[in-house]
Amino acid sequence: MSYFANISYALRTTRKGLALTLKYFFSARFRRNKKSVAAANYFDGEKGTFTVQYPKEEIPVPDNGRYKLHNEIDDCIVCDKCAKICPVDCIDIEPIRAVEEYGKTSDGTSLRIHAAKFDIDMAKCCFCGLCTVVCPTECLTMTDEFDYSTSNILDHNFSFGKMTEKEIAEKRSEFDEFQAKKEMAKGDSESKKIKPIVQKNTGAKPVFKPRPIPKRK
């Protein structure tokens, strides 16, 4: 470019640049709406500052987003389906059979098993959502809570079981007594038909090894 063309180019571009930044400066009196990505007018209102001051304000997450799991334990029939379908085995359930139906869930299903332990380890969870799909009483759901980081990974294991140690021991002995009575009634020969409930290994969990999943029948 020639000497004078340079000058005029510099003036024009500087003027344009300054006009642009001044426009942005004044548009900072607006703030973008904190709309969910699902909102119909999500792309409207592009003006203004973009920052979301996170802990004080947040953008709503979509309803069908997959975040932290929650189990409504009163509605849980402890069917163990979620634990079975979980691809990463992050749900740990310890059931105790009740001697009889001890209540009903909110949708009218009978409660026959106590959940001595219902732990979901969100550190392992892969957020596939399969457990919420198989849950027959829809008590296991994904909530909109996504910020639950902790400094200790063990704190990512959330337990939903409400039973106290005492209650667990009580229910267990109740069932054992019931079982013993049944055996007495049926005689020793038949007692082997009823398997005692196998306690799950509560010690350190084995390291996950990838393996081919056997076909379910």
Partner 1 sequence: MLTFVFYLLFLLIFVVFAVYAERKTAAFIQNRLGPMEVGPKGILQTLADLLKMLQKEDIKADAVDKLPFLLAPFIVFTAIFAGFSVLPLNANVAGSSISGGLFLLLAIISLDVLGIVMAGWASNNKYSLYGAMRSVAQIISYEVPIGLSVLCVVLITGTLDLQEMSIQQAGNGFLSWNIISHPVLLIPLLIFFIAALAESNRTPFDLPESESELVAGYHTEYSGFRWGIFMLSEYGMMLLLSIVITVLFFGGWNSPIPSFGSLMFYDWTSGMYWGTFWLLSKSLMLVFVQMWVRWTLPRLRVDQLMSLSWKYLTPLSLLMLFVCGIWKLWLVS
Q: Which residues bind partner 1 (CB under 8 A)?
A: 3, 6-7, 14, 17-18, 20-22, 24-25, 28, 48-51, 53
Residue 203 CB-half CA count within 13 A: 2
* Least Cβ distance, residue 55 to partner 1 (angstroms): 11
141 three-state secondary structure:
strand
* Least Cβ distance, residue 24 to partner 1 (angstroms): 5
Cα separation, 64 vs 131, whole angstroms: 14
**Backbone dihedral angles phi then psi of residue 9, each to the nearest 5 degrees:** -65, -45
28 vs 126, which CB is nearer to partner 1?
28
52 vs 184, which CB is nearer to partner 1?
52
Cα separation, 215 vs 137, whole angstroms: 25
24 vs 102, which CB is nearer to partner 1?
24
* Least Cβ distance, residue 25 to partner 1 (angstroms): 5
Q: Give the burial string for 117-129 (b: 16+ CB within 10 Å, else e).
A: bbbbbbebbeeee
* Least Cβ distance, residue 148 to partner 1 (angstroms): 23
57 vs 176, which CB is nearer to partner 1?
57
